[in-house]
Structure 1
Amino acid sequence: MHNKIGMFFGTETGTTRLIAKKMQKKLGDELCDKPLNVNRIGLAEMLAYDALILGTPSYGVGEIPGKSAGCFEPNWEEFLAQLTETPDFRGKRIAFFGLGAQERYADRFASSLLALVEKFRGWGAEIVGEWPADGYVFEHSAALVDGRFVGLIIDQRTQGMLTDERIERWLAQVGPLLREKLAVS
């Protein structure tokens, strides 16, 4: 068991990786391990953590990103496909972040995030880190549940100037919740 937060991401253009690295730097090496791409790990590496931050780009019409959704690199779809049995995430606390482009994909902004969150919720994980929709302009997002996003949403393309402040505010919210899990383990 690691007594740190584990951070894992899927990425296509490298932006999700960039955001994960920014978050890890803000949290610091003592609290959070270096972020790892899901196309380079197995399930055991993820299950070694009780507190996790998972990130995803958005691809297709709200599908889990991967080759069938048009990604060139292996992504979350391929990570999940290697699972031979249903993983047990009970007792794990996970915060999610997702990337999207609200102008270009206003009709499905950051929708892939919900599909990923639902997968882990179904495996027993406790999900934390919902995020307000204020300041975003879009028509529809599957990731918007009861008026709030299921995780932090970053639009690096049209609102890159807000990214650092959003990360700062979100980490202030989820950091203590994730830290709590570390004190227990």
Structure 2
Amino acid sequence: MAERIARVIGSDLVDLHDIIDSGPAAMTGYDCLIVGIPTWDFGEQQEDWLEVWPELDDLQLSGRFALFGLGDQIGYGEWYLDAMGMLHDKLRDAGAEPVGYWPVDGYDFESSRALTADRRHFVGLALDEDSQRAETDGRIAIWVPQVLDAFGLS
């Protein structure tokens, strides 16, 4: 999914990193971050993220970040995109400013830790390749320009 988003942004603006190879410390070298995370099983982080999760507590960030999350709103609707919500809180607490919130309209889930306080937006782009694969490219095409604008890169 990161590659698909990177293609829309343009290769001249993107450095792709895999969290398990680069580690969270690689995030400190950027003023603008787009970070993706899947929610695994019952609202958990995927194993690569789980391995580096404690390192997030030591990050000191500035600048802005946007998130995209992958999950299954039908099969795991009680925990839809929970990992994205947890990552949002970690990066915000590390000092970065979140951008790129995405409306909940058009989704069908029971609960999520990835919602804003008013429950009208996800804290990042919500993607569901299991139940709404046909929506993914359109959502990316709308979200990326919004994020680039928030980053001052449009």
Matched, 1:29 2:15: no
Pairwise CA distance, 1:116:
0.7
Instruction: Report the structure number with the largest CA radius of gyration.
Output: 1
Identity among equivalent pairs (%)? 38
Aligned to 1:7: none
Aligned AA (2:100): G
Contact (CA 8 Å) 1:102, 1:137: kept in 2 or not? yes
Letter of the structure 1 residue corresponding to residue 60 of structure 2: D
The match for 1:137 among 93, 108, 127 is 108
Matched, 1:171 2:153: no
CA contact 1:98–1:151 (8 Å) conserved in 2: yes
Give the alignment's TM-score, normalised by structure 2: 0.90
State the 1:62 CA deviation: 2.8
Shift of 1:142: 1.4
Does residue 41 (structure 1) correspond to residue 22 (structure 2)? The answer is yes
Tell me if the contact between 2:57 and 2:90 (Cα under 8 Å) persists in the aligned partners. Answer: no
Runs of 5+ consecutive residues of structure 1 not aligned to the other structure: 1-18, 67-74
In 2, are the aligned partners of 1:114 and 1:142 still within 8 Å (CA)? yes
Separation in structure 1 between the aligned mates of residue 93 and residue 20 of structure 2, nearest angstrom: 22
Question: Secondary structure of the residue that 1:98 maps to in structure 2?
Answer: strand
Gaps of 5+ in 2: none
CA offset at residue 45 of structure 1? 2.3
1:118 equivalent to 2:89? Answer: yes
CA distance in structure 2 between the aligned counterparts of 1:149 and 1:168, rounded to whole angstroms: 17
Tell me the equivalent position of 1:76: 49
- Residue by residue over 1:121-160, the C-alpha shift from the partner in whole angstroms, topping out at 9 and shown as x without a partner, is 1111101110000111111111122121000000011111
Aligned pair partner of 1:59 in 33, 36, 40: 40
| Structure 2 CA distance for aligned equivalents of residues 99 and 134 of structure 1 | 16
- Look up the SS of the partner of 1:30 in the other structure: helix
Which of the residues 154, 159, 164 maps onto 2:132?
A: 159
TM superposition shift of 1:43: 3.8
Which residue number corresponds to residue 103 of structure 1?
Answer: 74
2:59 to 87, 94, 103: 87
TM-score for the superposition, normalised by structure 1: 0.76
SS of corresponding position for 1:144: coil
| Structure 2 CA distance for partners of 1:106 and 1:84, relative to 1, 3 Å | closer
Higher helix share: 2
Paired amino acid for 2:38: P
2:106 match: secondary structure? coil
